[in-house]
Amino acid sequence: MKQTPKSELLKQLDIITDKARSLIGKGKVADYIPALAKVVPDQFALALCDLDGNVYTSGDANKAFSIQSISKLFSLVQAVNIYGEDLWQGLGREPSGQRFNSLVQLESENGVPRNPFINAGALLVCDRLESRCSAPNFQLLELLKSLSENTKLRVDHEVARSEMEHGSRNAAMAYLMKAFGNFHNPVEKVLESYAHHCAIEMSCIDLAKAALFLANQGQTLNGREILSALETKRVNALLSTCGLYDEAGEFAFKVGLPGKSGVGGGIVAIYPGHYSICVWSPELNVAGNSLAGFYALELLADTLGLSVYL
Ligand code: GLU
């Protein structure tokens, strides 16, 4: 990695923001629920945290957006904490090569989701959390508040309600897993919890701060262990192979960092040992990833020489 002085880094982030903004207008905001379809499309933000506690930003980095599938990263962290190795009974660790909400593979693979970052896998994680947490919704939000040092984080209840009203495929996945004996709690209850996780609102600064422990062998900057170093390595590996829907290969090829995206237009990326990064721009490409956000990460990785494959 090239060593970049702070003022130079900020300048680079602004240049990257300008270039990435040129893609705005070429993607499409998620429209599967009305509450997301009405998000103003021409927004862009970027935040980068380093292990000295510095936060570098560009664009609307304080603007909160719907974290959507980025929540799958943090619910996985909670479940790894509670279950350890046992979590992987009935849950795979392979890329799916299918749409994030596909039912086909789940049927042919006996109700065992390929990985925790497709919907079926995240629903299974929520099911496991439901078995062991007294208030799974509340506990995820509290974890995110403490990691981001932002006590004001909230769930957008309109988005959560809308998710539940349009959650037939998710319900189908949960019932299919239940039919295979791989889902233990009432489906409606788990769907509600999952919808609330997706509907949490955070800014790029919040998310970059919340994910920083993944760049720091599982520890927060004040020494709190969120995951062990081994668990952190494994979560980062899953982010690398499965974190960007059906575009994880392209993301590895062009960016080369562990990452997790959401249809709200956010992408979190980790440069282990150095940085956590969050970009956001609501317009998505055909794979469901932020168009300008993906491009910004590619530019950032190239400019600063960031990649886990170098
Ligand atoms: N709430 C979305 C769903 O379950 C998550 C979409 C996403 O960000 O992948 O369909």
Q: Are 278 and 267 in contact (CB under 8 A)?
A: yes
Structure tokens at 160: 């959560």
**What residues act catalytically?**
69, 72, 194, 245, 263
Q: For domain 6-68+201-304, which architecture applies?
A: 3-Layer(aba) Sandwich (3.40)
Structure tokens at 24: 């705005």
Q: How far is the CA of 56 from the centre of ligand 1 (A)?
A: 28
Beta strands 45-50 and 28-29, pairing class = unpaired
Q: Which residues line ligand 1 (CB under 6 A)?
A: 68-69, 100-101, 119, 163, 170, 198, 262-263
Q: Are 269 and 48 in contact (CB under 8 A)?
A: no
Q: How far is the CA of 204 from the centre of ligand 1 (A)?
A: 18
Distance of alpha carbon 263 from alpha carbon 42, whole angstroms: 15
Counting ligand 1 atoms within 8 A of each CB, the residue from 163, 242, 267 with the most, and so the one to mutate, is 163
Percent of all residues in the chain with a pLDDT value above 90, rounded to a whole number: 93
Q: How far is the CA of 304 from the centre of ligand 1 (A)?
A: 31
Q: For domain 71-198, which architecture applies?
A: 3-Layer(aba) Sandwich (3.40)
Determine the atom of ligand 1 nearest the C-alpha atom of 245: 9
pLDDT digits (tens, 9 = 90+) for 205-259: 999 999 999 999 999 999 999 999 999 999 999 999 999 999 999 999 999 999 9
Determine the atom of ligand 1 nearest the C-alpha atom of 69: 8
Give the list of residues 6+ apart from residue 45 with CB closer than 8 angstroms, or none. 57, 58, 59, 60, 61, 63, 203, 204, 278, 279, 280, 281
Counting ligand 1 atoms within 8 A of each CB, the residue from 66, 198, 201 with the most, and so the one to mutate, is 198
Sorted by where each begins, the domain ranges of the chain are: 6-68+201-304, 71-198
CA dihedral 80, 84, 86, 92 (to 10 degrees): 40
Domains 6-68+201-304 and 71-198 belong to one CATH topology: yes
Indicate the pTM of the whole model.
0.97
pLDDT digits (tens, 9 = 90+) for 83-113: 999 999 999 999 998 888 889 999 999 999 9
Q: How far is the CA of 42 from the centre of ligand 1 (A)?
A: 21
Tell me the pLDDT of the chain averaged across its residues: 96
Per-residue confidence in pLDDT tens, the chain, 310 aa: 667 788 899 999 999 999 999 999 999 999 999 989 999 999 999 999 999 999 999 999 999 999 999 999 999 999 999 999 999 999 999 999 888 888 999 999 999 999 999 999 999 999 999 999 998 888 999 999 999 999 999 999 999 999 999 999 999 999 999 999 999 999 999 999 999 999 999 999 999 999 999 999 999 999 999 999 999 999 999 999 999 999 999 999 999 999 999 999 999 999 999 999 999 999 999 999 999 999 999 999 999 999 999 9
Q: How far is the CA of 217 from the centre of ligand 1 (A)?
A: 28
Determine the atom of ligand 1 nearest the C-alpha atom of 261: 8
The whole-angstrom distance between residue 196's C-alpha and the CA centroid of its chain comes to 14
Determine the atom of ligand 1 nearest the C-alpha atom of 119: 4
